[in-house]
Structures are given as C-alpha cells and as structure tokens.
Amino acid sequence: MVPLRSPRARPPRQGNELEYQPLHESARPHSNPPPGLGFQRFFQVTVIIPLLLVITVIVAGLMMMAESNTSKSHLRLSTVTGYFLQDEPTTDPDTFDYVASNFGLISRSYDSDAEFDPDGRRTQWERFEYLINKLNAESGPKTSYRLLYLGRHGEGYHNVAERHYGTEAWDCYWSLLDGDENGTWVDARLTPVGIAQAETAHRAWETQLDNKIPFPQSYYVSPLNRCLATASITFRGLKMPHTEPFRPVVKELLRETIGLHTCDSRSSKTAILAEYPEYIIEDGFAEEDPLYDSKLRESDTARDARLRDLLQDIFTHDKNTFISLTAHSGAITSILQVTEHRKFALGTGAIIPVLVKSIALATSGDDGVQQQSTANDELGNSNEWTASGNDTARQETVNAVEPNDGNTTSEPKIFLQSEFPADGTVSQAETAGGWNAITPGP
C-alpha cells in the first residue's frame, strides 16, 4: 500500500486578507445580451452624442454673439433743431422766459400739416406732436425720435450759500462743509423761492395743457431731495396721465456732478421712500450713496459719459416718445452736450424741451464715435489731494468743477487750508479773481 500523504498546511490569513480562488474559464457564467442592445449603443455613439455636442456649440455661439452685440452696441444721439427757440444761436439764455414763450416752441408750419391740419384748426403743439409721431412711424427700426422735457430743480439752500460767499470761496471751502450758521445744505432742500419756482412750473404746465402739449409718458427724477421735491410740486395734481398718483422713477445717474460738494450727496434709500413713498426706485438702487466721495470731484468728461449712459439706458428700455427728466444744471448741461445741442444754461426752476434723434449702431466706431466708458471709471480723475506739512492742498484742473450756477473755473488753482484764518474769514489769496471777505463758518 502506498501511504497517504497529509495535505500541505496553508499558512493562516493575515487580518482581512481575502482568499484568492482562481476561476477557471470553464466556470465563468455565460449570458447573451438582450435583443437590440448593440444597436442602441451604436445609435447613442454615432447619433445622439454628436448631436448634443453640435447643439451645445450652437447655443454657446449664439450666447457669445448676443453678449458681443450687447457690449458693442450704442446709440448715436443728436438734437433735431429748428423747432424751439432754445435751439437758435440768437436766443439769450440769460433773458429767455420759458413760461411766456410756450416753452420755446417756434410758431411755424410743418410738412405734415397738409395731411393732419389742412383747415388750420389745430394748435402748434398738436401739429408738432403729429410730426414727431410721423417721424417715428416712417423711420427705420434702429431710429427713433424722443421729446425730452428737461427741468432744473428750484432754488436750493446751496444756491443761496454760493451767491452769498461767491463761487470761488464756495467751491474751495464752503461747499465742503455741511452748512453754516444759517443752516445745512447736505442734500440741499428747496428754499421758499425754490418752492415758488416749482409752483410756477406747475402753472406753466397747466397753461400748456390748454395748448394741447403732448403729455409726458414717462417721468424720471434725480435722487437728490431738491429734485424730488421740484418734480412733486411741478406735476402733482395736473390733469395728465401718471400724475395721480405721481410716480416718477428715481434714477441714480441723473444726479448732479458727483463728489466734494456735500450738497450733491444723496440721502439713503429708506429716507427717500419715507418722504416720497409713491416714487419708484430703480432696480439696483443702493441703500446708501455709493457715488459720493468727499475728496474727489467728477470731471465734466466723466459726467458727460454718465449722462450718456443714462440716456442709453432710458432709450433702450423705455419706448415712450415724450419723457420728462427733473435734474440739475450740471446734468442738463451734459445731456445737451451728448445730444449735440448748443450750450444753454437754465436758471433754477426752468424747463427746456429738446427733440432728440437716436440711431442704434451695431458696433462702436461705425460713425467715428467711440464707445463710452462707464462714468464710475472716470470719477475724480482730474482731481488730486496732496499734503505739504500742515497744509492740505486741493488742486482742481480745468473743467474739474462745475459750479451750481453753470459757470466753470477758467484755470487750474491750488487752494491751501492755511489760507483760511482760524476765525473763518478769508483774506485776499493769490488767485486770479481774489477772495471777497466771508463770514465765519460753523
């Protein structure tokens, strides 16, 4: 007999080590794929996946094209002259009376009179409204005509202070303060005279309503208090659409030249709505003033860009033809500038209508007009604050300051804090115009 050998002992497994048991080929399970599975996989690989890729590429391309067109498109704006006295070089802004002159509408005939008013029974405003609507109806999809009613706020306490101290002293010292012994001018409010000027504008609108002036279809207002109040006094109670209740849209970019002057800082969103709860605050309007800077003053160029952006925004999203804007001397100066209107300074409480033609251009540079940068990028670029010993100097370059009376400084000047004695009075400084003595400040 052959002795049986004992099986070789296996070494014990270590820890969680799994025992390896080879699976012979003959022991592998065999299964047939379900019918049609091969075709489905072939269809997915050759048709569905490529189709999805193509759709993704097309959608991405369309989105990029849309973004490209949006970023490059802009409006070319120009004033259509010959309809208002304010367009004419012979009209003197200092003596012009908008109330007595039918808002400046020139008494004349139009080419459209033959079809609209062959018997001559319509008012001048009715015939002018028909002409504008006809221009819009006959223009292409990229061209439009808008009649802007630009109204400046009534007199504010800051205007009184500037007259009292003089423009130079106001610009370099008093405008930087919150007020004087007579009161405050931060986000300046209307004086009794300013309220009366807004009431005059209200009555002027009533008269023009009798003359069949085309109603404003949209109302926009600066967020500064003097404009909020002027718009309310001017339009509330008029027998016009959208004035009962009067609900203008508050636009951040419609404000006065930004920076330095405390009168040009705005109140909080909460404070505005508390005083004017019916007003509509535009989307994205910050609670606190995001633009005011106590050390930098917006240049005229930056202000022009800001107001151009404002008009582009309004003309793009508001298809109405007759639009009211209640604003400031600086803002209106820039609107006239970017619409190629002649310079025309408005007194406090005054109104100027402007017929504006806009042409949508697909890309910048088509007409030699460069696309404008945003106003925020240019705020204060023309101002510098420097320190020398104990003296703080403010340098303002040409056109860096737009005084509230519409006049610009004629040359660069540097004003030192040491020029102002401790008692608040100012002696003669070495400037072109010199100083007038002013009373102590707060």
| 341 in catalytic set | no
Dihedral of CA atoms 32, 38, 41, 45 in degrees, nearest 10, equals 140
Tell me how far the alpha carbon of residue 254 is from its chain's centroid: 5
Phi (first) and psi of residue 243, to 5 degrees: -115, -5
What is the pairing mode between strands 383-388 and 179-180?
Answer: unpaired
Residue from 155, 252, 256, 378 carrying the catalytic annotation: 256
Report the candidate in 198, 187, 194 with the shortest Cα–Cα distance to residue 160: 194
368 Ramachandran zone, left/alpha/beta (phi>0; psi -120 to 50): left
Q: Pick the closest to residue 264 from 197, 175, 335, 336 (CA basis).
A: 175
CA distance 174 to 262: 9
Looking at 153, 158, 261, 341, which residue is catalytic? 153
Q: Indicate if 74 belongs to the active site.
A: no
Provide the phi-psi class of 118: left if phi over 0, else alpha when psi is between -120 and 50, else beta: alpha
Catalogue the long-range contacts made by 360-364 (C-beta closer than 8 Å, 24 or more residues apart). Answer: 360/73, 360/74, 360/75, 360/142, 360/143, 361/73, 361/74, 361/75, 361/76, 361/142, 362/69, 362/72, 362/73, 363/72, 363/73, 364/72, 364/74
Active site residues: 153, 256
